[in-house]
Structure 1
Amino acid sequence: MSNSSSNIVIHWFRQDLRLADNPGLYEANAQGKVLPVYILDDENAGDWKMGAASRVWLHDSLAKLDQSLSGHLKLFVGDALKILPQLVKDIGAEAVHWNRCYEPWRIARDEKIKKSLRDMGIDVQSHNGSLLWEPWTISKKDGTPYKVFTPYFKKGCLGAPEPRAPIARPNRISYAKPGKLNGEVALEAMNLEPEIRWDKSIRDAWRVGEDAASDALETFVQDNLHQYKKGRDFPASGATSRLSPHLHFGEISPQQVWGRIRREEAHAGSSDLQHFMSELGWREFSYYLLFHWPTLPDKPFNEKFKAFPWRNAKRPLQKWQRGQTGFPIIDAGMRELWQTGYMHNRVRMVAASFLVKNQLLHWRHGEAWF
């Protein structure tokens, strides 16, 4: 549909808190006057709602995003199934765009929202702004999904078409200006920050937002990418990218990261670059498995672990959480996590292995703490 000065088009921000390489925002801006919206939907998330540290990051990321949107971001709290259709009615929006998410609860909710809006005669479009290869685009020759990473990545992903090039940041966004909206809240009213202010030390360690994500990528490419293959194995080396939270909240897209690594590969290729690109592949694989086996958060991937005799022991769990196990590398990692919100990948692997294999405590205790 062509741009019309009278069309109001909603872009629903989710895990895409950026302006550059944002397909949903790009298409909404091409279609009419944009109303940028974010909905904190704990009701549909249920047990999978964000933890406290993630909420602190989200608070600061939304603040940065609103600055980039010249103060036009509209915030809501509650059930998106109710909020979005009502918002469409209130402002007379003709279309809604969003970038897809892949967790089971989000897929189920989004399908209902899409049907509800289309039943109202609204143009609804979803886009890929979060993955290099969406789960349904990669399969074995017999059409079934992969279960093992190496063939998934080498045969499936690298044998598929190259990920699309990033989309440029809009030169200009034409905003809808409906005034104060029913149900709209201020950022502070979302209660994303903790009442007891334990967050100071992690905020001191964080740089949040789209610009920070772009800087982190460039710093990694210039300083650490070419020593990544060996350097990533040593927690003290600082050779990792630190891009994980930026990718999770969508402050940078995997297409932007992949494209930058490809440019560096053309300039000065090495096995370090290939190793880092395979790490991006692991991120893809986790979403791939979750899409094809949506019971993964609740049931073991391997059926034989259904009856595994997990221990129910509070004291060992508390010592692990507090970094008091007596094993220096585990304790250092757990304390770093508490103070900075970060733990090196290799230390995460050791800490997780200790919890599950040595202490025989259910992995979901670890998931809940992280």
Structure 2
Amino acid sequence: MTAPHIVWLRRDLRLADQPALYSAARQGPVICVYVLDDERAGSRAMGGASRWWLHHSLTAMARELGKHRAKLILRRGDAVDQICKLANETGAAAVHAIRHYEPWWRKAQGELAKRIDLHLYDGNYLLPPGTVTTGSGDPYKIYTPFAKSARQCLPQREVLEAPALTNPDTWPASDDPDDWGLLPTRPDWAGGFREAWQVGEAAAHGQLDDFTDRVAAYDDDRNMPSIDGSSRLSPHLHFGEISPAQVWDRLSRHTGEGAETYRGELLWRDYAQNVICQFPAYPSESYRDLGGEALWRNPNRGHVIAEELQAWQQGRTGYPIVDAGMRQLWQTGWMHNRVRMIAASFLIKHLLIDWRHGEQWFWDTLVDADYANNGVNWQWVAGTGVDSNMFPRIMAPLSQSEKFDAGDYIREFVPELAGLSDAQIHDPDDSHRPADYPAKIIGHREARERALAAYRQAKGE
């Protein structure tokens, strides 16, 4: 009997352009395994929205493997221990995995390499993190020169086809995903998720097909919440149902500003991962100190502030564009990219609440919650990041809503405002505001002046 090769899956749930699977399949029978390991991630264990997606992604992966008469083996517990246990059970010759860069996975990979023959491959990013460097060999900290340098290296390799699979003589035992409790039950809050998303590798390529038909207009449409202008590929990319190399290859057939702008979004994803490699605790530690406790209003130290945080989370701020975004997030597990910036800026600068409270909320509620992207994006808005917007640049949600024609978006997610005219819906005055919609939690001018005064005081000016 030929010894099988184990493919350890994490955020790489696909058959095509999967370098670890491709290499393992060339060497013998393949056993694909996913280990649900919440302990290693600690406070970064997947949030509820991500767990919903994971359940359906694993189901889709098992279905695709089933077409090859193969199985997806599921185990729960410490990933290193479970992989070693599986290797002993099956007499596996080696373990193959795509390299992951989150701190807990880097530690696990190091531990596993000491106990078993481990082969790691790059495949979740356009370029391996750490390979795009300055002339002196240092990693870039700023996005623009990083992206310029990275573009000169792309495409790095050809996209791999899904391999032919050989199966082992016998299959090891596997958990049932239904026993993992990844799906909500009491209450089942995922109805909007089911309406909004198709999950899995086939769905990812279907979404890419749809987006390539619209990519020419992406440069403009991506900022318009009422238009289907976003790619909506982010959760598929996060869970590895499609690789960025596949998306880049597909977009290579398209020219123009739309495709070029989206390529920049893929490079931002690579950039965020490079930041995490340099600063592993970035999603919880500010790179720049803007005054710390002197600047932020801490919800843990005041009932009123805690209520304001909850109002933001629930979409009850009295700012229609912010509330629409927060309700879209709760309903679908996703928020329009322009509105993410507006909602984040509102929490940080209008409410003066530490960006980490927002980052944690997004971590639990986004289906595309990504350790690198989430941390880098929140610090960019807060002005605390290694490459970020300046804190005094405060987004005006009311004018942003009007500028980007968010009326129909608001009507969809804040239905109590659906009857308002285009002139009123962005900023309803008291005579037009429905009784069941809250007044502004704070006025824009008041919030702006308070934020700037707090910033000056925190900086000692």
Is the structural similarity TM-score above 0.5? yes
The worse-fitting range, judged by mean Cα deviation, of 334-343 and 47-56 is 334-343
Partners of 2:283 and 2:359 within 8 A in 1? no
Offset, 1:162? 2.6
5 Å-filtered alignment, 1:165-176, equals 165-170=158-163, 172-176=164-168
Q: Given the alignment, which residue of 197, 200, 203 partners 1:206?
A: 197
Q: How far, CA to CA, are the matches of 2:154 and 2:206 in structure 1?
A: 28
Larger Rg: 2
Distance 1:255 1:160 in 2: 12
- State the partner residue of 1:297: 283
Instruction: Report the Cα offset of residue 297 of structure 1.
Output: 2.2
Is it true that 1:236 corresponds to 2:202 in the alignment? no
Instruction: Identify which of structures 1 and 2 has the higher relative contact order when contacts are C-alpha pairs closer than 8 Å and 6+ apart.
Output: 1
Alignment of 1:140-289 (within 5 A): 140-154=134-148, 156-170=149-163, 172-181=164-173, 184-196=174-186, 197-222=188-213, 224-264=214-254, 269-289=255-275
Unaligned runs of 5+ in 2: 299-304, 363-461
| Correspondence for 1:353 | 345
TM score, norm. by length of structure 2 = 0.74
Q: 1:64 aligns with which of 60, 63, 74?
A: 60
The residue type paired with residue 199 of structure 2 is V
Q: Which residue of 2 aligns with 1:314?
A: 306
**Structure 1 SS opposite 2:295:** coil
The alignment yields a C-alpha RMSD, in angstroms, of 1.3
Q: Are 1:8 and 2:1 matched, yes or no?
A: no
- Percent identity, aligned pairs only, is 43
Distance 1:128 1:17 in 2: 14
Give the equivalent residue in structure 1 for 2:455.
Answer: none
Which of 47, 51, 60 aligns to 1:51? It is 47
Is the Cα contact below 8 Å between 1:39 and 1:77 reproduced in 2?
yes
Which runs of structure 1 show a deviation greater than 2 angstroms over 4 or more consecutive aligned residues?
159-163, 177-181, 303-309
Q: 1:59 to 1:177 in 2, by over 3 A?
A: farther
Residue 411 of structure 2 corresponds to which residue in structure 1? none
In the alignment, residue 215 of structure 1 is paired with which amino acid? Answer: G
In structure 1, the partner of 2:321 is 329
Query: Secondary structure, in 3 states, of the residue corresponding to 1:39?
Result: strand
Cα offset for 1:176? 1.7
* Pair 1:23 & 2:16 matched: no
Per-residue deviation, 1:178: 3.0
- For the pair 1:127 / 2:126, whether they are aligned, the reply is no
Deviation at 1:95, TM superposition (A): 0.8
Q: 1:177 to 1:333 in 2, by over 3 A?
A: farther
Q: One-letter code of the match for 2:200?
A: G
Q: Contact 2:75–2:175 (CA<8 Å) still a contact in 1? A: yes
Query: 1:105 offset after TM fit, Å?
Result: 1.4
- 1:177 deviation in Å? 4.3
Q: Distance in 1 between matches of 2:21 and 2:115?
A: 21
Q: Is the 8 A contact 1:35 1:177 kept in 2?
A: no
- Distance verdict in 2 for CA 1:134–1:24, change over 3 Å: same
CA distance in 1, matches of 2:295, 2:222: 34
Distance 1:327 1:138 in 2: 41
The two structures have a TM-score, normalised by structure 1, of: 0.92
Q: What CA distance in whole angstroms lies between the structure 1 residues aligned with 2:291 and 2:337?
A: 25
Query: How many residues end up aligned between the 2 structures?
Result: 352
Report deviation, 1:153: 0.4
Residues 321 and 64 of structure 1, relative CA distance in 2, 3 Å threshold: same
CA contact (8 A) 1:42 1:78 kept: yes
CA distance in 1, matches of 2:323, 2:172: 49
Note the alpha carbon deviations across 1:144-196, whole angstroms, 9 max, x for none.
22111111101x202335321210012x2111243443xx3111111111232
Letter in 1 for 2:282: L
Q: Which residue of 2 aligns with 1:84?
A: 83
Counterpart of 1:115 in structure 2 is 114
Using the alignment, how far apart are the partners of 1:305 and 1:60 within structure 2? Answer: 43
The answer to whether the Cα contact below 8 Å between 2:96 and 2:119 also exists between their aligned partners in 1 is yes
Q: Kindly state the Cα deviation for residue 330 of structure 1 after the two structures are TM-superposed.
A: 0.4
Paired residue type of 1:259? D
Shift of 1:309: 2.8
